[in-house]
Structures are given as structure tokens and as C-alpha cells.
Structure 1
Amino acid sequence: MTRMLPLVPLALPAEFVRKYAIDLAAPYTAGWSFDHKDAAFAPDGAMYVLSRVWRYKPGGEEAADPADRSLSVWLVSRYAEDGDETPSAVGVFETRRKYSKYGDAWELRLAVLPDGTVALSGHYDTTYLVDAELSEVIGSLGMDCGRRRTGAHPGGNPFATRIRVTPGGRLLCVLAEYGTRGYGDFSENLVGVADGPLTPVDRPVVEVFAAVDAAPKHQNAQFDVRSYAMFQGLPVGMGHRPARGLGELVDERWPDRFGYAPHWLGEPEPLRDDLFVVPVFGKLYRSGNRGNQFAFALLDDKGNLLGRMEGMEPWKDSPFTGECYRVATDPARGRVFHLNRYGLFAWSADGALSARVGTDAKPFSLLKNFSLLGCSPDGELVLVQDKQNLLVRVPVPEGDLATEWAPAIEAALARVAKERTALKKRWQQVAWHWTYEPEPGRLRSL
């Protein structure tokens, strides 16, 4: 099987650019953006990348002409394992409420289920299922609750705000609850695993093992008891969930590092079928958050707090700068990774720090321009160069990372510079926005 190219331009289809009259030369301060949110891999080795195009235009909510419309469009791009740097399929998922049946989907994330189905999940536990070729939405699950502030969705069968797939095919899920952290809205609170398949007609039971806030306020038995989310044999809701909140457990375990409630939940990642890295963060402040407390906690599927990723300092290694909250896991090799503006970190499965590459000196200062999207089945880091819209797959050495990783990162950064020059000769680009003419049938409106 041919390895996928290590450097891929995250391009916009020219047909899409023309339809919406996107000015690629305009700076993002002009009221638009093109961001890359997630990456996931299918069982056949294909890579999917989730990107978002956002644009605001005065009066754009009412404009019938796409050229004058405010946009909230998600692009799902599929890259085959054959090494082609052009997407084999692109699904266009428009979520502005006036022009879409999908409502205003906020902050979607991407997963590929064991059967190859693509799952897009976002706020209010809304989950959309798309076929592997990105040709149609084959199922949707979402809330039908009078307290929802935005969006409309048929039915009342939500599933998850976040989904990740474990090595054995379990679904690691994050569910939202009403009234957490003192808010009169839904926010991510519960973490659990599901063992059955998720299909357009059937959702599996999620066995909840952790709650960041153990005592949400002002819940209602009609809306807030989840029949498919179970804890100790009973549906989660009202006063029934894990008795100790994860924020409270982290405070108690590491009192020198935490204590700024209310805590909030990052995006959990699987290390094994029964072992997970669950990021937990302290309260956010408008005045700045560098130095705030955080923990990349290690939990099993019974909710036991086994440890954390060690070796990070709250100020020196703060993930709050640039909002670099994600971790990536390599279950096959038992490794955990994190990239922020101050360093690139690697840990073993027990939380011991294996290596840290700081970004305070060249050439590693270039890492400040990258964000972490995930880890490939081959153990490569999947990074995105945010300003130049480039996806980079960085091989991680199999040996001792303490001595081998820094030279490997340096070589990868040098390779990016060389291959980027070659890409500019093969691809059209305006202000680092790459475009291409997709083959007929590859661009589909979902």
C-alpha cells in the first residue's frame, strides 16, 4: 500500500470559491476565515479532514445570492491512501439556518466509525452520519428541546457532542448536559463509552464513567434524563451521575496545580479500549489565562483517576496561549502527544514524559505556526500549518524519543520548506489559499 504524501495542501475547490465569490486575497480581518478543525482515519487507510469556511456580510442572513451570503460551511475532504494530494471526495455541509436543514452546527468534530461511516458531532449532542464516499447524509440525531437557544432539528434523539473510536471499535463519547458550570445552557460534561454500532436507525447505550460537574443545576426530568446514557444501571440525569466530579477529583489529587472552578472538559482521546486521556481545564478569564491550571488526566472506563501527563508547568508550558487544548494518542505504540506555543510533548501510556521539544529557538520555533490535529495509524503526527493551509504528517521515531525526536522534527521541518516550494509550482494559490478544479462528481453538497 502506497504511503500518503507527508505534505498536503488543504485546498478549496475552485467551483466552491466561484459559487460563494470568496475573495481569497482578503485578510481574515475583512470578516472571513478558513480553519482546519479535525482529522480522522478510516479502516482502509483513507484520511478525512474537517475544515470550516466562515464569512460575515451585513444582511447576509437574508441574501438569496450565495455571493452575498454570510457563510458557515463545513468541508469534509477525503484523501485516499494512494498518495494523491488531491481529495478523492469533498462533502459541503452548509449550516446557516436559513439555507440549511441542518441548523447552525457549532464546532463540529470528525470521527470515522468501524464500518467506515463518517460521523460529524457538535453542540447539543447533534450527530450527523455521512457515507464513506461523502455523497449523502444517511442519518442525523439531535435534540428537540424547548430550552435550545439556536437551530432546529427534527426528532428528539441526540447522541454525542464528541466521538472518538478506540482500537477495538468502542466509541468514546462526550455528552452535553444542561445547567453545568452554573450556565443556563448545555455544555460538555459527561464522558462514556458505547460498545454497540451507531447507525442511522439505532444508537448504542453509552456507559458514563465520568462527569466534570457532578451537580448540574435546574435540570428537568422531562428533558434532562438520558435514556441511552447509563450509570450504574440507571439513566443519567437529574441527581444521577458519577458522585464525584472530575474537576473535584483533579483538585484533590493535585492541589498544587488546580483549584480554579468551574472546570471544563477538553477532547478526550483513547489510549486503549479501557484507558483514556481526558483534558480538564480551570476557569477562563477575560484578562488572560496563561498560567491557569490544567491536567491531561488518565482515566479508565470505570472512572478511576490513574494519573496525568506529567512534566508540564502551568506558566512555562501553558496550553491556554493560542488555545492549544488538544492531545493526540497513538494506541498502537502507547504514546500521547501535545503541541502548544511553547513546546511539543510526548508521553508514555503511564503519563511519564518521554520528550519535550521547546519552541524558543530555531528551527523549532517554526512549530508555533502549527496545530495538532491527530495521529495516524502509522504513528505519524498530523499537524496543520494554519497560515499556509498545509497538512503535514511527521514520522515519530520508534526508539528513544529523548534523543531521537528533536533531530526527526528538525528534518521534518526542513522537508516541509523544500516540498512547499515544489507545491507552489504545481498548485494555484492566492495568499496561501490553495485551489483546484475537482473532477466531476468529487464535490458534493450534503
Structure 2
Amino acid sequence: MTLFPITVPASLAESLGLDPATDDWGHEIRHAVGTGAGDTYVLSGLWRRDGQRTEDGGRGFVLQLITRHAPDGAATATAVIPYEVPGGTRSTISWGNESNLALLPDGTLVLSSRPGNTHLLAPGLDRELAGWRMSTYSWTKEENGPDDPFAASVAVTPGGRLLCLVSETSLENWGVPIPNLVAVSDPGEVLAPGHKPVLHAFATLSTSAARQTEQDAHPHVRHVGAPVLGDNRPSPALGTLVSGLVGGSAYDWDRAFLHRPAPLSDELYVVPVYGRTYRSGSRGQRFAFALLDAEGTVHGHLGGLDRHADSPYTGHLFDVTTDPHRGLAFHLNRYGLYAWTADGTLRAALRTTEALFKALAHFALLTATPTGELLLAHRKQHFVLRVPVPGDLTALGESVTEALAGLAKARNAAKKQHAPVNWLWTTPTGAVHHL
């Protein structure tokens, strides 16, 4: 099957009074993770603007949906995660920015978001197994209680190590937590209800932590045997490290930011570092997809990109995804789809200026699956396109061309089955769980 739509349970749409013929709602595919058996979990957002009312009295809402899809694309279960449950009570699952998914070796699903929220969900999406949260603002601590964070993002290596992005407080003059540390767990350590593994920090974005006190430390994030705090952190800062790889002044890397790191193996990781953004537009600003190991040693970067012609800043498409089982890395932005081997060599650059690959500009890269596929999400039509990754990356263009050539036929078949209105796909099948 070339594609599968990301559906909304028909019963949920009906209970919400969601009329797809109106223009007051939105659906966005945000992330995905695949299983070794070919199933796929897809995270999406569904909302209707506040202040809008339907004829039957429907109100605005904001939801996150996690849907499990079988290998044939059929939706088998959906978890519905509201920002607030009826009556105004906050959901037990924290809401944050840049939500992301990961799968633990035992099949447990991990949902993480910035600044440091992590939740474990049962494979059937019917219950939350454990959760840790981090407040974005000081006043939310009064509502939610003391912070007990884990990570802003989690990725799992082939051997089960957890590669994490961790936020810190009291950095520089920031008044909110900032994703600042890249850390990894020891082999054999597990994340489970009642247990957070120790994470060993091997890279830091900002080293300006003079304002930190003991209250700012995370006991589970350590460097040279002690919690990361103040000067006890990896150095030099990532801005200094990547400037040696791709150039740039101190000004270029001041106010730089990190995006979700991704594993190339158990010991080698891609750490995306982006220079400051500008209100007038940031195309041409410096960025680096650095290659670091668990000791913080730099092994180069994913090369071959032009900072202007291949800029990820257009549309803010910052994701880098990897297939750690084969040591491959991928990035998709408005200007092309790019693929590298683990040594940082660019093996494929399918630029959207070429007629064959122009349609890629409408897609976002979700993940590379353990079964050897790239999953691309159409931003407006809300379906996922599967692209097989050939053993020889230089043949990726042929694989993408074939997938795009079959797109119209597969989409028409899906439309006959689901009859979407304004690209809202609904399905009467699959279990629905409200978490």
C-alpha cells in the first residue's frame, strides 16, 4: 500500500459536533514511529477554534490523537488526549511543544514534549502507564505540584539506549526552561513505571549557568558522576563545536537552539544545531547536523547542504530522522529530500526544483521505520506516504519517483473508502480510548 490516511474516529467527530465542511477546524500530522512488525503509531493534533459555534452548540476544542495503524494502513486504536477534560480539569498527560513518539524494546509507547514531559502508554493505547512532567512557567507548578521531568524528546537506539534532549532552567537570562542538554542512558537501563534511568550528558548548548541553584538540578541527568549543574557540564558549548565544522561567528551561534537528536547507532548520534532566527527571515542562516558519540567527541557532520539553497528555515522544517539499524540519516525541507550514510556523506539530494520531485515540497518527514521505509506526511491532505529505502541510497530517487507516481491511484482508492470532506478522513473502525 503506497499511502494510508490519518483518520479521525467517526464517533469522536460526531461527539465533538465537528463539521468538516466548515473552515474553523484543523488537523496536523506531527510525528510517527514504526514497529518491527510493520505497525505505525501516528501523533496528530485536531482542533476547532475557540469562539466558533456550530448549529448544534458545539464548542472549540484542542486534542492530541495517537492512532495505531496496522501494516495495511487500517486504524486499529486511537488515544484521544484533551488539553482539558470536561469540567475544566487538566488531562493527566502533559501538553508541551514539539510532541514526539518513541518505542521501547518491550513495545511501550513513549510520548514526550518540551520542556520535559514524558509519558508511557500501553501498546494498545488504552491506558497511561507512567508520567513525568515539567512546568513551562513557575505559576503552573502551583497547579501541577513539584516538577518531576524526564526529557523533552526520547529516541531509542538499536540496543535500547535512550537518546534524550533535556531542558534546563536558570540559563543565561531566560525565565523559562530551555532544551539544552543531549544525554544518553547506559546499555541495559530501562524507562519504566517507578524508574527513571540515569542519563549521561555529553553535549550542552549553553554553558552560561551561573544563576543555577541546587533546585535547578535534575538528579537523573549527570556528568562525571554528579548532577549537571552550573559548571559541571560538557564543554565546550555546541556552538563552539559546530562553528569548527560549518563556520560562523559567535554572533551566528548566539541564541542558537537544539532540535531532537537522532541515533545513527548505539554509540553515534545526529545532533541538529540551528543558529538564531530573525524576524525578517532566516533563510541562509547557519545550521549543523553534528555527529557526536556518547563521550561528546565530534565525528564530523552531515555534509553537502548549502545553507541558502537547502535551508531548513523556510517553513521551520528542522527534523532529522535516522534508520539506526542501517546507519542512515534523512532530512526533508521545502527544497529537497536528503540522505546520508553514517560517515556524514551525502548520498542522495532530491531537490524540489526538479520536476520529478516537486511534489515533495508538500510533505513533511515523519520517521524512518525499522522495516526500511520513510513515512512522509502530506501537510494539507492528511495522509502518510510510504517510500521504501533502497539498500543503495543513490537509488533513492527511483524509489521516491515510483511512490509519487502511484500517489494519485492510491489516494483515489482511499477517497472511495473514506469519502473525506475537506481532507478530514473518518473511520467507523478501531477502538477509541480517552486518556
Answer yes or no: is 1:445 the counterpart of 2:396: no
Q: Which one of the candidate residues 247, 252, 256 is aligned to 2:239?
A: 247
Q: Is the 8 A contact 1:49 1:77 kept in 2?
A: yes
Aligned to 2:68: 78
Structure 1 CA distance for aligned equivalents of residues 20 and 90 of structure 2: 24
Which residue of structure 2 lines up, in the alignment, with residue 63 of structure 1? none
Structure 1 regions of 5+ residues with no counterpart? 61-65
What SS is found at the alignment partner of 1:429? coil
Counterpart of 1:226 in structure 2 is: 218
Contact map agreement 1:142 1:154 (CA 8 A) in 2: no
Tell me how far apart the structure 2 counterparts of residues 331 and 363 of structure 1 sit (CA, whole Å): 28
Q: Is 1:359–2:330 an aligned residue pair? A: no
Q: In 2, Cα distance between the equivalents of 1:211 and 1:77?
A: 34
CA distance in 1 between partners of 2:298 and 2:377 (Å): 31
Q: How does 1:148-187 map to 2 (within 5 A)?
A: 152-154=143-145, 156-180=147-171, 182-187=173-178
**Residues 345-403 of structure 1: CA distance to partner in whole angstroms, max 9, x if unpaired?**
1111110111111101323110000000010112211101111111011012212x33x
Q: CA RMSD in A?
A: 2.3
Q: Gapped runs of 5+ residues in structure 2?
A: none
Give the stretch that moved more between structures: 102-111 or 197-206: 102-111
- 1:191-210 pair list within 5 angstroms: 191-195=182-186, 196-210=189-203
Q: Is this contact kept in 2: 1:182–1:216, CA < 8 A?
A: no
What's the CA shift for 1:119? 1.1
Q: Choose from 82, 91, 96 the match for 2:84.
A: 96
The answer (yes or no) to whether the contact 2:35–2:370 under 8 Å persists in 1 is: no
Report the TM-score, using the length of structure 2 for normalisation. 0.93
Is residue 362 of structure 2 the alignment partner of residue 330 of structure 1?
no
Q: How many residues align?
A: 428
Partners of 1:156 and 1:348 in 2: CA distance? 39
Match of 2:338 in 1: 345
User: What secondary structure sits across from 2:97 in the alignment?
Assistant: coil
Q: Against the structure 1 CA distance between its residues 151 and 90, is the aligned structure 2 distance closer, same or farther, given a 3 Å change threshold?
A: farther
Counterpart Cα distance in 2 of 1:330 and 1:126: 25
| Change in CA separation of 1:69 and 1:124 when aligned onto 2, cut-off 3 Å | farther
Percent identical pairs in the alignment equals 37
Q: Is the 8 A contact 1:42 1:113 kept in 2?
A: no
Gap change, CA 1:70 and 1:96, over 3 Å in 2: farther
CA distance in 2, matches of 1:21, 1:327: 37
Give the TM-score of the pair, scaled to structure 1: 0.90
Residue 99 (structure 1) shift: 3.6
Is the aligned partner of 1:319 residue 2:312? Answer: yes
SS at match of 2:62: strand
In structure 1, what residue type is equivalent to 2:62? S
The partner residue of 1:268 within 261, 282, 295 is 261
* Per-residue deviation, residues 246-305 of structure 1 (Å, max 9, x unmatched): 112112333258834111001111000010011000001111111111011111010111
Q: Does 1:22 align with 2:18?
A: yes
Tell me how far apart the structure 2 counterparts of residues 23 and 180 of structure 1 sit (CA, whole Å): 45
Aligned mates of 1:226, 1:305 — CA distance in 2: 25
Residues 54 and 72 in structure 1, CA contact (< 8 A), matched pair in contact too: yes
Is the contact made by 1:338 and 1:345 (CA closer than 8 Å) also made in structure 2? yes
Among 75, 81, 90, the alignment partner of 1:87 is 75
- Structure 1 residues 151, 111: closer, same or farther in 2, change over 3 A? farther
Q: Secondary structure at the match of 1:433?
A: coil
Q: Distance in 2 between matches of 1:101 and 1:246?
A: 36
What is residue 124 of structure 2 aligned with on the other side?
Answer: 133
Counterpart of 1:10 (choices 6, 9, 29) is 6
1:30-62 superposed Cα distances (whole Å, 9 cap, x missing partner) = 4x32111111123544211111113321399xx
Compared with structure 1, are the counterparts of its residues 106 and 407 closer, same or farther at alpha carbon in structure 2 (3 Å cutoff)?
Answer: closer
Query: Is it true that 1:424 corresponds to 2:412 in the alignment?
Result: no
Give yes or no for contact 1:382–1:392 (8 Å, CA) kept in 2: yes
3-state DSSP of counterpart to 1:36: strand
